[in-house]
C-alpha cells in the first residue's frame, strides 16, 4: 500500500510509535518558529529546561504580533526574545520584517521538512510541502531542545481538485468552500492533503492561503505536493537548492476523499462569528460595509497585494469606508513600492499599516461600534477585532476591494474584466532584518535581558488522587481560545505576565470568572463540543492553571488546546454520554476521586455533590500523557525524566 505525502514525511521523521491512526507518535522536528505573543513564554520554558543551545536545524524567533508599543511591555519582550535568540542559537526576525508565516514561507521553509510553531497558522508551510503544525509554546521549547513532538497519528483526507478558478474567484474561496463542507471541527484528527489535476493551476501563495485556513477546520495540518510550481517559487526566492519533489503514491489510501471543481466556485463570505458560517457573496449584496482590512498571514502576499493595487488603481474607496492594507513582509512592501503598486493603493484612500499581524489579533484598527468589517483574515470570532459588537466577515482580497469601492458587500465581477497578475521571476532578497545568533563560545558569556513585566512560569504541582473543586464556569460549544484568553491591544502586552493576564480570563463569556475562580481556589470548567478551537496560545491553559483550574470537562476538545491542558497539568476529560452535560450547573461542588486508577483504566467518575449525581468520564491518555499529568505538566516531566539529554 502506497503512502500519502504526509505519511512519507512522518515515516522519515518517526522517532517513536506506530503509524496507526489514533496511536501516539513522536516526531523529529527540523525547524521551529515562534512569534512574540507566545514566544516570550516559550523561551522562559526553554530556559527552565536548562539546555544551552537549540538543537534543531533551524529555529526562528519572529516579532509580528505585539508591535504596537504604547508602553514599555512589548519593547521589553522584544529585547528579551532578541537576547535569548542570540544566546541560544536562534535567528531573530526584527519588528517590521513581517509576519512569521509569510516570511518563513519566503525565506526558510523547505519541502519534506517538519516544522512546529507556537502559532496555530504554522500549517501555512504546507503550501510548499512541509509537514508544518501549530503547537503550544512548551512543545516548541522541548523540540528546540531536541525532544520529539508528540501527536496522535492522524487520518488522511484528500481534497481532489479539478478545473481552474474562474476570474475573480480566489484561493480564499477554496478555503471557505472546504469550511462550508467540513465545518470548524470537520478536520479534527486528520491531515488535509490537496491533490488532483487542479493543484497545478494554483500558485504557492494561493496554496499557502489554503493551508493557512486549514487550521480553522481543526485539522492537524494541511499539505500540498512539492512540484514544479514549488520549484519556481523557491527559485524566485533565490533558494532553488531547497527544492525537493514530493507527491503521494498512486496507490495511497485515504480515509475520505472530497472532490471540488475549482471552475464551479464563486466568491464566498464567512459571516459572523465563525469561519464556517459561509454564504455566497450574491446573498449579501445589501450588507452595508464600514471597514475593510486586507492582510494577515492569510492574504498578505505580493500576489494578493498586486491584485489589490490593480483593482484600486485610479479609483477611490467609498467615503463611508475605512480601509487598511498590511503587507505580509518587508519583501512584499519593498516590491510593491518599487513597482509603483503601493502608490496606487495609497492614492485610493486606503491606509498602510505595518508588516505585522495588526488588526487580525485586535492590535489596532478596530471597527466602529456595531460596525461591519470585511477582512481577508482567517478568524472572525466575536470580540477578536477589539470591538465586541462588530460583525466581522471573512472575504477574499477581490471581494474586499470591490466592497470598499462600493460601500456594500459586492461581487468583484461587477467591476468588469479581471486583468491577470504577473508574478516576478525573481523576488527582492534582503535578509538584513534577520539577525544571526552568536557563536557557541561567545554565547556563553551573554546575558538575557528581562524587563519588569516578565514573570515566571506559573506554579505547578503533581496530580492528586482526589480533586475537590467548584464548577466555576459552564460554557457551550465551539469555545475558542479567544474566549478563554482574549487577544487585543489592551491584553497582548501582558503575555509574559500571567498574574496580570489572569484578570481577562474568560472575560468574553463572564467578566466575573477570574475573581470567582480565585475565591474558590480549586476550579472545574465544563464545556461543549470542540472546546478550545482556534489559536495555539498556551496562555489559554497557563492562565487557568494560575487561577486554580484542575480539570476541564467537555463533550470534545480541539487538538492543540487538549495538548496544552495536559502540558499545564490540567485534566482534559470528556463526557462518556454527552447528555450528562445538562446535569451539571455552574456553582455545583464536584469531586473527582481515584484519579490514579482512573488514568490507568481510562474511566473516571465525577460526583456532583450539589446535585447528588455521578457521571462517567473518559480519561483515556497515552502512557506519556499520563506521566505528564502525574508530574504536574510537561515542564516538570521533562526536567524529571531527563528529556533535555
- Is residue 316 helix, strand or coil? coil
Q: Is residue 283 a part of any domain in this protein?
A: yes
The per-residue pLDDT for 645 is 42
In angstroms, the CA 464 to CA 629 distance is 10
User: Is residue 441 domain-resident?
Assistant: no
Instruction: Say if residue 234 is in the same domain as residue 317.
Output: no
> Are residue 590 and residue 526 in the same domain, yes or no?
yes
pLDDT at 644 over 50: no
Instruction: Please tell me the predicted confidence (pLDDT) of residue 639.
Output: 83
Q: What are phi and psi of 124, to 5 degrees?
A: -50, -35
Do 113 and 174 lie in a common domain? yes
pLDDT, tens digit (0-9, with 9 covering 90-100), for 423-439: 889 999 999 999 999 99
Angle, helices 36-49/72-88, rounded to nearest 10 degrees: 50
344 inside domain: yes
- What pLDDT is attached to residue 642? 63
147 in the same domain as 240: yes
Domain contains 351: yes
Establish if 611 belongs to a structural domain: yes
438 falls within a domain: no
**Averaged pLDDT, 93-122:** 98
- Reference 216, options 269, 180, 167; nearest CA is 180
Would you say residue 643 has pLDDT above 50? no
Which of the listed residues 410, 431, 447 is the one where a domain comes to its end?
410
Q: What is the extent of the structural domain holding 301?
A: 268-410
Q: Are residues 630 and 484 in the same domain?
A: yes
Give per-residue pLDDT as tens, 226-259.
Answer: 999 999 999 999 999 999 999 999 999 999 999 9
Domain of residue 561, CATH code: 3.20.19.10
Question: Cα angle at 623 between 619 and 626, to 5 degrees?
Answer: 50
Residue 418 located in a structural domain: no
105 and 208 housed in the same domain: yes
Domain co-membership, 326 together with 395: yes
Contact (CB, 8 A) for 88 and 53: yes
Handedness of CA 153, 15, 35, 341 (dihedral sign): negative
Give the pLDDT confidence of 340-359 residue by residue, as tens digits. 999 999 999 999 999 999 99
Instruction: Indicate the number of domains in the chain.
Output: 3
CATH number at residue 77: 3.30.499.10
**Which residue, 241, 264, 287, sits at the end of a domain?**
264
Inter-residue contact 300 to 324 (CB < 8 Å)? no
Half-sphere exposure of 513 (CA within 13 A, CB side): 29
* Same domain as 257, residue 132: yes
Alpha-carbon distances, residue 579 vs 479, 529, 554, 583, 585 (angstroms) = 18, 12, 11, 8, 13
Last residue of one domain, picked from the residues 366, 390, 410: 410
Whether residue 477 is found in the same domain as residue 495 = yes
Q: Does 315 lie in the same domain as 170?
A: no
Amino acid at each position: 500500500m502506497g503512502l500519502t505525502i504526509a505519511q512519507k514525511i512522518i515515516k522519515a521523521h518517526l522517532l517513536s510509535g506506530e503509524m496507526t491512526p489514533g496511536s501516539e507518535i513522536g516526531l523529529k522536528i527540523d525547524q521551529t518558529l515562534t512569534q512574540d505573543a507566545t514566544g516570550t513564554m516559550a523561551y522562559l520554558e526553554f530556559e527552565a529546561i536548562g539546555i544551552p543551545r537549540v538543537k534543531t536545524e533551524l529555529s526562528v524567533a519572529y516579532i509580528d504580533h505585539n508591535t504596537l508599543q504604547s508602553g514599555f511591555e512589548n519593547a521589553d519582550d522584544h529585547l528579551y526574545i532578541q537576547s535569548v535568540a542570540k544566546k541560544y542559537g536562534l535567528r531573530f526576525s526584527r519588528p517590521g520584517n513581517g509576519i512569521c508565516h509569510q516570511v518563513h514561507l519566503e525565506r526558510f521553509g523547505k519541502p519534506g521538512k517538519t516544522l512546529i510553531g507556537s502559532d496555530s497558522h504554522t500549517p501555512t508551510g504546507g503550501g510548499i510541502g512541509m509537514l508544518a503544525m501549530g503547537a503550544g509554546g512548551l512543545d516548541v521549547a522541548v523540540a528546540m531542545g531536541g525532544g520529539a513532538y508528540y501527536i496522535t497519528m492522524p487520518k488522511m483526507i484528500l481534497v481532489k481538485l479539478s478545473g481552474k478558478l474562474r476570474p475573480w474567484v480566489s484561493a480564499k474561496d477554496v478555503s471557505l468552500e472546504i469550511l462550508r463542507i467540513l465545518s470548524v471541527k470537520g478536520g479534527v484528527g486528520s491531515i488535509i492533503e490537496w491533490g488532483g489535476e487542479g493543484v497545478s493551476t494554483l500558485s504557492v501563495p494561493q496554496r499557502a492561503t489554503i493551508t493557512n485556513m486549514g487550521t480553522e477546520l481543526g485539522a492537524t495540518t494541511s499539505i500540498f505536493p512539492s512540484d514544479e510550481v514549488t520549484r519556481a517559487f523557491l527559485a524566485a526566492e533565490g533558494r532553488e537548492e531547497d527544492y525537493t519533489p514530493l507527491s503521494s503514491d498512486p496507490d495511497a489510501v485515504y480515509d475520505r476523499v472530497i472532490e471540488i471543481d475549482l471552475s464551479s466556485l464563486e466568491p464566498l463570505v464567512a459571516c459572523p462569528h465563525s469561519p464556517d458560517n459561509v454564504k455566497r457573496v450574491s446573498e449579501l449584496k445589501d450588507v452595508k460595509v464600514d471597514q475593510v482590512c486586507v492582510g494577515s498571514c492569510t492574504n498578505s502576499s505580493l500576489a494578493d497585494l498586486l491584485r489589490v493595487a490593480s483593482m484600486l488603481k485610479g479609483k477611490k474607496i467609498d467615503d463611508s469606508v475605512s480601509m487598511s492594507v498590511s503587507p505580509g513582509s518587508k519583501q512584499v512592501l519593498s516590491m510593491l513600492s518599487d513597482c509603483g503598486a503601493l502608490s496606487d493603493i495609497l492614492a485610493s484612500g486606503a491606509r498602510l499599516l505595518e508588516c505585522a499581524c495588526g488588526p487580525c489579533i485586535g492590535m489596532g484598527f478596530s471597527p466602529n461600534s456595531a460596525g461591519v468589517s470585511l477582512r481577508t483574515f482567517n478568524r472572525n470570532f466575536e470580540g477578536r477585532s477589539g470591538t465586541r459588537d462588530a460583525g466581522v466577515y471573512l472575504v477574499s482580497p477581490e471581494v474586499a476591494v470591490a466592497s470598499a469601492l462600493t460601500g456594500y458587500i459586492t461581487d468583484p465581477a461587477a467591476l468588469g474584466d479581471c486583468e491577470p497578475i504577473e508574478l516576478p521571476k525573481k523576488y527582492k532578497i534582503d535578509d538584513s532584518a534577520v539577525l544571526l545568533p552568536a557563536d557557541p563560545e561567545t554565547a556563553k558569556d551573554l546575558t538575557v535581558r528581562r524587563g519588569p513585566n516578565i514573570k515566571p512560569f506559573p506554579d505547578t504541582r503533581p496530580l492528586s488522587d482526589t480533586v475537590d473543586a467548584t464548577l466555576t464556569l459552564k460554557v457551550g460549544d465551539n469555545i475558542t481560545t479567544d474566549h478563554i484568553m482574549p487577544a487585543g491591544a489592551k491584553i497582548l502586552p501582558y503575555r509574559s505576565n500571567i498574574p496580570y493576564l489572569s484578570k481577562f480570563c474568560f472575560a468574553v463569556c463572564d467578566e466575573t470568572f477570574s475573581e470567582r475562580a480565585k475565591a474558590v481556589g480549586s476550579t472545574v470548567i465544563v464545556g461543549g463540543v470542540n472546546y478550545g478551537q482556534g489559536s495555539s496560545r498556551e496562555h489559554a491553559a497557563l492562565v487557568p492553571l494560575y487561577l486554580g483550574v484542575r480539570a476541564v470537562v467537555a463533550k470534545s476538545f480541539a487538538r492543540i488546546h487538549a495538548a496544552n491542558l495536559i502540558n499545564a497539568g490540567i485534566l482534559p476529560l470528556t463526557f462518556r454520554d454527552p447528555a450528562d452535560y445538562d446535569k451539571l450547573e455552574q456553582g455545583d461542588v464536584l469531586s473527582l476521586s481515584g484519579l490514579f486508577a482512573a488514568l490507568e483504566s481510562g474511566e473516571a467518575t465525577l460526583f456532583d455533590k450539589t446535585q447528588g449525581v455521578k457521571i462517567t468520564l473518559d480519561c483515556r491518555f497515552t502512557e506519556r500523557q499520563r506521566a505528564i499529568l502525574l508530574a504536574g505538566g510537561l515542564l516538570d516531566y521533562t526536567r524529571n525524566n531527563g528529556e533535555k539529554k
